[in-house]
Amino acid sequence: EHTIFLKDYAPSPYRIVAVDLDFDIFDKVTIARAQLSIEPEAETPPGTPLVLDGDGLSLSSVAIDGAPLMQSAYASDANSLTIVEPPQRRFVLETEVHLDPAANTKLMGLYRSNGVWCTQCEPEGFRRITYYLDRPDCLAVFKVTLTADAKLAPVLLSNGNLVRAGDAGDGRHFAVWQDLHPKPAYLFAMVAGDLGSITDSFTTASGKKVDLAIYCEHGKESQCDWAMDSLKRSMAWDERRFGREYDLDIFNIVAVSDFNFGAMENKGLNIFNDRLVFAQPESATDANYAGIERVIAHEYFHNWTGNRITCRDWFQLCLKEGLTVYRDQEFSSDERSRPVQRIHNVQGLRSAQFPEDSGPLAHAPRPDHYKEINNFYTTTVYEKGAEIVRMLATLLGETAFRKGMDFYFERHDGEATTIEAFLAVFADSSGMDLDQFKTWYLQAGTPQVSVRDAYDAENQTYTLELDQLTAATPGQLEKSALVIPIRFGLIGPNGSPMGWSSVSGAEVRDDMIVLREDSAVLRFEGVANRPVPSLFREFSAPVQVHADRSQDDLLFLAQHDSDPFNRWEALQDVSSALLIDAVDGKRWDDKALDGLRQAALQTLDSDTLDDAFKALALEIPDASVLGQKIGKDIDPARIHSTRKDFIAALFGPVVGTLETAYEALTSNKPYAPDAAQAGQRALRNQLLKLIVGAGGDDALAVQQYSEAGNMTDRFAALTIVGTEWTHDAAGLLADFHTRFATHDPLVLDKWLMISARADDDGVIERMQAILADPAFPKNNPNRLRSLVGSFVLSNPVQFTRADGAGFRFVTGFVADVDARNPQVAARVLTGFRIWPILEPKRREAAKAALADLQQSASLSRNTADILGRMLA
Ligand code: DPP
Ligand code: ZN
């Protein structure tokens, strides 16, 4: 198989400076004509061939400067067009290809979704539209003409500004769009179709009025208001926080129903998966509202971090993604509760990125080789990439970080650049040496940090011993020490912060230890009493911490730490320790459980903590996080049942108290998606989950389901009943399907999710029946992921069944979908990444299913790449 290496990067010998695209859109065919203004680079030797990328194209005609090329002057096939001896001056290459968007089930390039023509070009979809230098360092200005039937496609959109539109005869019309910001082809977009819209405007800090519009299928307009509100808040925030203004007169968003990604940041024309646009209280949950707000912001923020400054090559993907995730996380933190956002982000990191980073698909945030770039849109590139930027901000401090960002925008605006260039702006603007810090981008694996401490009362000395170790990952056996910022505090016996007179053994700056070596022994002098250390406040580094701490100390932290993140973390640690011991056969003792219960009730009772935080504090670590902590020979069924027993033992004695608290949170206010209301619902629904889990009686959940005035409460109740598969589950799911899901595909997704998560042995058969239904939309990524993606990620017990039925269900699905949509197939397959840590019987069953898949079908490059790494 063909592998692409970072070390082989070379600039193109030719550059495309301007692109003139003409799409003649008909029901059955779209004719794409491209005029590319091309010139050789100064150092290009005469006679150097020009090789353009293609993917599944067939060339109808080719000309240079208006003259058709002779057969001998070029070579073309589906995947490339070579001009043997191009002119050694600027010339215009003209090509024509015929496309069949309706047949494009890969959803890359130009395709039809629900009748609408739309595009997805990142990373390599543009080459499925026309022959091109389809690489992110090729920046050109674009002019795009769209012509289509005025009834089939009254709306014609592309990047930039509309310069002309009018009648084209025969019932057809046209529109010409121009984007004067040079951009790589992956940011190209066009849309044609019969769409409704909502409009608004935003006036930038410097007084420029920007027209905003969100396009969607007719009838869904009123469901776009929240997305529009999120957009305007994002625009204002980026001005406030980063000094970044929008740079075009128009910003358009289009919601489409078939989309591989969540959304795409095309210049001036973002295209969104409709699940990240549509929201109304009766069909969207609070989590959906928060997700829409976040992704609208994310794509908007790409305009500066991604579009104005883009990537030199795809190895640098986290340059734009890690940084932009960091920016969207900061936005959500400023708009909502910072500690709650931080906990959510860390939960996501632990449940997705940590498993990736310790399994067969582990890779550096900036990888140095790939076979299929689509497989690198990973949680490592995105979420670990964001953690790296966050550590940079922590190490530099807020002011120096902002100064560095300003410098980045100033120095690299209009460029396609690298991680090295990104780090250099911070090194240059702050004077800090970031050479060792760069290792975070180059090294895979989650560092394990071990902590031991001792207090010497006689000498009033407190010692803190820290070690870091990163285990070998595929293809990367040697690891070096990382720079690890550890924000911390020492807490005295009365719960208040403690000082020290001097400290040695490692760099300590204010409330931060900077660990640079494999190990360090810090000695704090002048410490009056034995302190309880609070380490990695706000989760200041993406590491696994191993600290053997007493339950008393942890409960003390849960009560007294000034850092809310660590207060939450301490409670999680208490539960994890008890659960892991119990899985190991050492069942909890009553005293330990009493202590934890008391702490949980205290949290619930607090007048100072907000509801959203309380909801998280009452969370019991989930089975996959526990499995990850155990790390080897895991039996998900055993973890799951232990966890159920634990919840029953912990909360069983206080169900009445939980029910009283639940009742007190009942509200008659009309639904609003704001953080305060959402927090109240989150806490109430957390209590409901614990009440049902502790008592085994689902009556209260069934009642909430029936009485709910919004989808958040209804779906929470359905989730509890459906995943526990209580005796009312089948009836409730059927009711949900009939009353809510049949006419709204996004609600159908919710039904599919719960159908896949049921904790009973019939679940696979039921999923097979759903997929076999001729009415099931088997080419829609949202539907497929809601069912099979949820099964793989959220139903560990059934997915990893010892008889292998769960594994075979998924590999069978992958083989089937791969032929139509390789990206969806490959993504679902990554759920197998936990197979090496399963107990032997399950491990063998997983391996056999994977090996069968490798034997059987002819697989796409996407799926073959994942499978190859999975079995390596
Ligand atoms: N659209 C995807 C994202 O924004 C890929 N760039 O992350
Ligand atoms: Zn992104």
Q: Among all ligands shown, which has an atom nearest to the Cα of 325? A: 2
| pLDDT above 90 as % of the chain | 99
Are the C-beta atoms of residues 601 and 587 closer than 8 Å to each other? Answer: no
pLDDT digits (tens, 9 = 90+) for 441-471: 999 999 999 999 999 999 999 999 999 999 9
Taking the CA of residue 320 as reference, the ligand 1 atom at the shortest distance is 6
Q: How many CA atoms lie within 13 A of 660 on its CB side?
A: 7
pLDDT band at 1 (very low <50, low <70, confident <90, very high): low
CB neighbour burial string for 815-853, b if at least 16 within 10 angstroms, e if fewer: bebbeebbbbbbbbbbbbbbbebbbeebbebbbebbebb
- Which CATH architecture group holds 310-442? Orthogonal Bundle (1.10)
Mean pLDDT of 545-563: 96
Q: Give the CA count within 13 Å in the CB-facing half-sphere of 297.
A: 28
pLDDT (tens digit per residue) in 712-721? 999 999 999 9
Confidence of residue 759 (pLDDT cuts 50, 70, 90): confident
Residues whose CB falls within 8 Å of the CB of residue 821, separated by 6 or more in sequence, listed in order: 105, 106, 107, 260, 779, 781, 784
| CATH of region 4-194 | 2.60.40.1730
- Give the separation between CA 484 and CA 436, rounded to whole angstroms: 10
**624-681 tens-digit pLDDT:** 999 999 999 999 999 999 999 999 999 999 999 999 999 999 999 999 999 999 999 9
Mean pLDDT over 68-85 rounds to 97
Residue among 781, 791, 784 at smallest CA distance from 831: 791
CATH number of this structure's domain 543-697, picked from the four choices 1.25.50.10, 1.20.120.430, 1.10.3720.10, 1.10.1040.10 = 1.25.50.10
Residue 696's pLDDT is 75
What is the CA(28)–ligand 2 centre distance, in A? 33
Task: Give dist(CA 747, CA 178) in Å, integer.
Answer: 38
For the cut 80, the answer to whether the pLDDT of residue 857 exceeds it is no
* Ligand with minimal distance to 273 CA: 1
Task: With beta carbons less than 8 A apart as the criterion, state whether 166 and 176 touch.
Answer: no
Q: Which of 269, 321, 376 to mutate to test the pocket of ligand 1 (most atoms within 8 A of CB)?
A: 321
How far CA 214 is from CA of 85, 221, 270, 285, 840, in Å, comes to 46, 8, 9, 21, 52
pLDDT of residue 726: 93
Give ranges for CATH 2.60.40.1840 in the chain.
448-541
Q: Which two tokens stand for residue 524?
A: 């704090």
pLDDT tens, position by position, 238-297: 999 999 999 999 999 999 999 999 999 999 999 999 999 999 999 999 999 999 999 999
Q: By alpha-carbon position, which residue is closest to atom 3 of ligand 1? A: 264
User: Where do you find CATH 2.60.40.1730 in the chain?
Assistant: 4-194
Ligand 1 neighbour 299 (Cβ under 6 A):
yes
Compute CA distances 72 → 48, 75, 84, 96, 274, whole Å.
15, 7, 8, 18, 47
Question: What whole-number distance in Å separates Cα of residue 147 and Cα of residue 792?
Answer: 43
The chain-wide mean pLDDT, for the chain, equals: 97
Closest ligand to Cα 120: 1
Q: What is the pLDDT of residues 363-401, one digit of tens each?
A: 999 999 999 999 999 999 999 999 999 999 999 999 999
Task: Enumerate the active-site residues.
Answer: 299
pLDDT digits (tens, 9 = 90+) for 189-237: 999 999 999 999 999 999 999 999 999 999 999 999 999 999 999 999 9
621 preceded by a cis bond (ω within 30 of 0): no
Return the pLDDT at 695. 87
Asked if CATH classification 2.130.10.30 holds for the domain at 448-541, the reply, yes or no, is no
Closest residue CA from atom 5 of ligand 1: 264
**For ligand 1, mutation pick of 256, 264, 381 (most atoms within 8 Å of CB):** 264
**Secondary structure class of 41 (helix, strand, coil):** coil
Supply the pTM of this predicted model.
Answer: 0.98
Interval 833-853 mean pLDDT: 98
The pair of three-digit structure tokens given for residue 436, joined into one six-digit string:
């060792």
Residue 424 has pLDDT above 90, yes or no: yes
The 10s digit of each residue's pLDDT in 560-606 is 999 999 999 999 999 999 999 999 999 999 999 999 999 999 999 99
Q: Assess contact for 195 and 208: CB atoms under 8 A.
A: no
Q: pLDDT for 764-799, tens place per residue?
A: 999 999 999 999 999 999 999 999 999 999 999 999
In the three-class reduction of DSSP (H, G, I as helix; E, B as strand; rest coil), residue 378 is classed as: coil
Tell me the two tokens of residue 477: 């056996």
Q: Atom of ligand 1 at shortest distance to CA of 264?
A: 1
Residue 817 CA, ligand 1 centroid: distance in Å: 23
- 28 in helix, strand or coil? coil
- Split at pLDDT 50, 70, 90, the class of 697 is confident
Ranges of CATH 1.25.50.10 domains, the chain: 543-697
321 within ligand 1 shell (Cβ under 6 A): yes
